[in-house]
C-alpha cells in the first residue's frame, strides 16, 4: 500500500496539478537521484524481511510477528531498517514520477511511523522481549544507522 497504491493514487490525482518542482530537474539527474535512493532502500527493505523470516521466525505482518528479537544484520546498526528502506524508495518514486506530492507522502509516512513506534511498537516490543529489547534499544538508534553495529555479546 505505502510503496505502490498510495503513490499511484497521488501521482494520478496530481497529474492535473500545474506545478511540480521536481519536474523541472533534468530527467537524467532525476533518475540518478532515484537510483541513489532505490538501491539502498531496496537492500534495507528486502534484507529486513529476510532477517524477520530467517532469524525472527516470523514476518512483518502483525498476525505473524517475529518469535525472537532480531538483533543481527541490519538491525545491529538501526532499529527500523525496513521503514527506512520504504522511505528511501518513496523518495526515489518522487524523483522518477516527478511528484512533490509523493515526496510529501514519504515525509508523512515517516512521521506516522515515528509516532506509531514511540506510542505502540516499542512498548509492545518491551512487553514481549523485556530486558533484551531494553538493552537493544539503549545501544541501537531508531532511524540513523550507526557505522559500527552493536553486538549484544560485546557487552
For the stretch 42-82, pLDDT in tens is: 999 999 999 999 999 998 888 888 999 999 999 999 999 99
DSSP state of 90: H
Work out the angle between the directed axes of helices 100-116 and 81-96 (0-180°, nearest 10).
170
Asked if 36 and 120 touch (Cβ cutoff 8 Å), the reply is no
Question: Which pLDDT score, from 0 to 100, does residue 60 have?
Answer: 84
DSSP state of 82: H
pTM of the model: 0.90
pLDDT at 16 over 70: no
Asked if 56 and 71 touch (Cβ cutoff 8 Å), the reply is no
Question: Which pLDDT score, from 0 to 100, does residue 13 have?
Answer: 84
pLDDT at 33 over 90: yes
- What is the rounded distance in angstroms from the CA atom of residue 64 to the CA atom of residue 23? 41
**Range 129-135, long-range pairs (CB < 8 A, 24+ positions):** 129/69, 132/69, 133/69
Specify the residue for cell string 530486558. Answer: 131
Q: Which domains does the chain have, with CATH numbers?
A: 25-146 (1.20.120.1630)
Amino acid at each position: 500500500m505505502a510503496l505502490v497504491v498510495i503513490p499511484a493514487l497521488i501521482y494520478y490525482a496530481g497529474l492535473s496539478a500545474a506545478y511540480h518542482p521536481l519536474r523541472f530537474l533534468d530527467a537524467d539527474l532525476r533518475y540518478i537521484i532515484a537510483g541513489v535512493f532505490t538501491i539502498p532502500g531496496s537492500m534495507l527493505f528486502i534484507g529486513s524481511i529476510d532477517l524477520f523470516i530467517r532469524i525472527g521466525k516470523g514476518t512483518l505482518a502483525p498476525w505473524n510477528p517475529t518469535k525472537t528479537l532480531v538483533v543481527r544484520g541490519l538491525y545491529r546498526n538501526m532499529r527500523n531498517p525496513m521503514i527506512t528502506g520504504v522511505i528511501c524508495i518513496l523518495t526515489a518514486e518522487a524523483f522518477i514520477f516527478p511528484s512533490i506530492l509523493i515526496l510529501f507522502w514519504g515525509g508523512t509516512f515517516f512521521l506516522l511511523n515515528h509516532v506509531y513506534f514511540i506510542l505502540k511498537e516499542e512498548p509492545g516490543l518491551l512487553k514481549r522481549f523485556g530486558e533484551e529489547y531494553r538493552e537493544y534499544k539503549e545501544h541501537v538508534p531508531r532511524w540513523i544507522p550507526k557505522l559500527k553495529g552493536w553486538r549484544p555479546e560485546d557487552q
